[in-house]
């Protein structure tokens, strides 16, 4: 059963983290109130392995174990889970796997293209048959992509782009292809480039090729799509696929500003688990320009709608309006797990700004969970040392809407 009181929430968090003697406790004092911070590595080795269906790349996304922890505690089957900054859909896919209804919003329409196909999953045989039916023509892109792709690979990509329709099978193939465009291993369409959760510019890729003395080799796009489809399927069975499809039938998708989501009914969300844009350290449109091109999304229009806040004050003002909307859509007794990072060499701890924003909108704060973690392989490629720069912790501020 979901937790129903702020006191119980504090007890649940305390019971969970105090089992581990390595957990440290800290306090955030705001006025006369003190809020507990629990610090440890919570959602890595501490929880079960995530389902393979999550394994698509996207910049600045958290591990599926994070939303699972809060979904398990604060909801029951049939409840509604929301993410206003959905990204690749980690929260939503994990909620669907746990038989919760989902509401997805992200200002970038690319998000829906990444999430919805994983709620309507074709069999491998169907994927293979559809790939075999696609006729490869000798075509060139309308932009110069020679620094990324072999000429024959480019022809295959354009043939896919031109022939994929809006059917559930084509949407799956489009989603997989989108995630195979660029990367640094044999499992991607491109030659060696930056990590797969972001795309280099054409100019930067030329520099990479010249520095390494390489040219993009031929890649068989159909084989790569089929192999990745099999990988995404490996933890699935017919029962899970059927359950995901049922969730998908009632799912709500939108690409609105998260400060204005009037299409979502008042008091309709049981739990929100989300991670907003972090100041100006991540340029989502720049990272996804090639994916947007493949999906005929105008990246310049997307960038106009993505707020890049240059300072904490501007960011806080934007998030204040987001919290007003979250309060409106959350059921009395419902919850918000709001994940933020630690930026600017750890000097800016956004959780300390988030707590008063939630309070001002009417929420109560049950505490802050700080998940300290090692940097990923991507960070190491960039030459980022752990605990030195960038975002090296998940900080989850937990809010409750009083009944």
Structural domain range at position 11: 6-112+236-290+297-400
Instruction: State which of 216, 232, 248 marks the end of a domain.
Output: 232
- 117 located within any domain: no
Question: Are 206 and 191 a contacting pair, CB within 8 Å?
Answer: no
**CATH classification at residue 361:** 3.40.50.150
- 119 located within any domain: no
Task: Say what the pLDDT of residue 377 is.
Answer: 41
Task: Say what the pLDDT of residue 181 is.
Answer: 96
Instruction: State which of 232, 256, 280 marks the end of a domain.
Output: 232
Angle between helices 151-163 and 168-178 (to 10 degrees): 150
For residue range 48-95, list pLDDT tens digits in order. Answer: 689 999 999 877 678 899 999 899 989 999 999 999 999 999 999 999
Tokens of 391: 């975002």
Q: How far apart are CA 257 and CA 305, in angstroms?
A: 8
Is the domain of 132 the same as that of 227? yes
Residue carrying the six token digits 């960011």: 315
- 1 located within any domain: no
Task: Say what the pLDDT of residue 193 is.
Answer: 92
- 64 located within any domain: yes
393-400/80-83 β-pairing: unpaired
Is the domain of 246 the same as that of 366? yes
Is the domain of 355 the same as that of 266? yes
Is the domain of 67 the same as that of 180? no
H helix count then E strand count, the chain: 16, 11
Is the domain of 51 the same as that of 189? no
Task: Say what the pLDDT of residue 301 is.
Answer: 82
Is the domain of 41 the same as that of 139? no
Is the domain of 306 the same as that of 346? yes
For residue range 144-189, list pLDDT tens digits in order. Answer: 999 999 999 999 999 999 999 999 999 999 999 999 999 989 999 9
Is the domain of 185 the same as that of 173? yes
Instruction: State which of 232, 261, 282 marks the end of a domain.
Output: 232
Is the domain of 226 the same as that of 242? no
Task: Say what the pLDDT of residue 386 is.
Answer: 35
Q: How far apart are CA 134 and CA 333, in angstroms?
A: 51
- 118 located within any domain: no
Is the domain of 205 the same as that of 264? no
Is the domain of 27 the same as that of 158? no
Q: How far apart are CA 47 and CA 244, in angstroms?
A: 22
Which positions of the chain have pLDDT values less than 70? 1-5, 8, 14-22, 44-48, 60, 196-197, 279-285, 307-308, 342-346, 373-393
Is the domain of 86 the same as that of 188? no
- 365 located within any domain: yes
Structural domain count of the chain: 2
Tell me the pTM.
Answer: 0.90
Q: Which residues pair with 102 in a beta bridge?
A: 81
């Amino acid at each position: 059963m979901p937790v129903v009181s702020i006191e119980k929430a504090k007890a649940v968090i305390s019971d969970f983290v105090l089992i581990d003697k390595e957990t440290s406790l800290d306090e955030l004092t705001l006025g006369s109130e003190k809020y507990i911070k629990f610090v440890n590595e919570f959602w890595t080795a501490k929880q079960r392995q995530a389902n393979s269906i999550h394994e698509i790349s996207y910049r600045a996304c958290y591990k599926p174990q994070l939303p699972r922890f809060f979904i398990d505690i604060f909801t029951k089957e049939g409840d509604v889970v929301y993410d206003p900054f959905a990204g690749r859909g980690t929260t939503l896919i994990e909620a669907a796997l746990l038989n919760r209804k989902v509401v997805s919003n992200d200002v970038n329409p690319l998000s829906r293209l990444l999430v919805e196909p994983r709620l309507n999953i074709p069999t491998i045989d169907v994927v293979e048959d559809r790939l075999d039916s696609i006729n490869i023509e000798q075509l060139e892109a309308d932009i110069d992509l020679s620094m990324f792709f072999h000429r024959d690979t480019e022809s295959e990509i354009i043939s896919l782009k031109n022939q994929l329709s809006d059917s559930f099978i084509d949407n799956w193939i489009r989603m997989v292809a989108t995630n195979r465009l660029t990367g640094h291993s044999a499992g991607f369409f491109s030659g060696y480039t930056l990590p797969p959760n972001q795309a280099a510019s054409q100019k930067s890729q030329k520099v990479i090729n010249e520095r390494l003395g390489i040219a993009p080799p031929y890649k068989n796009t159909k084989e790569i799509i089929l192999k990745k489809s099999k990988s995404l399927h490996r933890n699935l069975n017919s029962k899970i696929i059927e359950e995901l499809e049922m969730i998908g039938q009632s799912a709500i998708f939108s690409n609105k500003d998260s400060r204005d989501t009037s299409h979502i009914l008042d008091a309709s969300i049981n739990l929100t688990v989300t991670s907003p844009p972090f100041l100006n350290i991540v340029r989502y449109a720049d990272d996804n320009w090639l994916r947007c091109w493949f999906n005929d999304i105008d990246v310049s229009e997307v960038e106009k709608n993505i707020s890049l806040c240059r300072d904490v004050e501007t960011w806080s003002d934007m998030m204040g309006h987001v919290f007003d909307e979250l309060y409106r859509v959350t059921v009395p007794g419902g919850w918000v797990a709001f994940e933020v990072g630690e930026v600017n060499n750890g000097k800016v701890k956004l959780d300390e700004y988030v707590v008063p924003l939630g309070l001002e909108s009417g929420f109560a704060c049950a505490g802050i969970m700080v998940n300290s973690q090692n940097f990923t392989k991507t960070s190491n490629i960039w030459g980022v040392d752990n605990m030195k720069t960038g975002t090296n912790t998940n900080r989850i501020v937990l809010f409750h809407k009083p009944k």
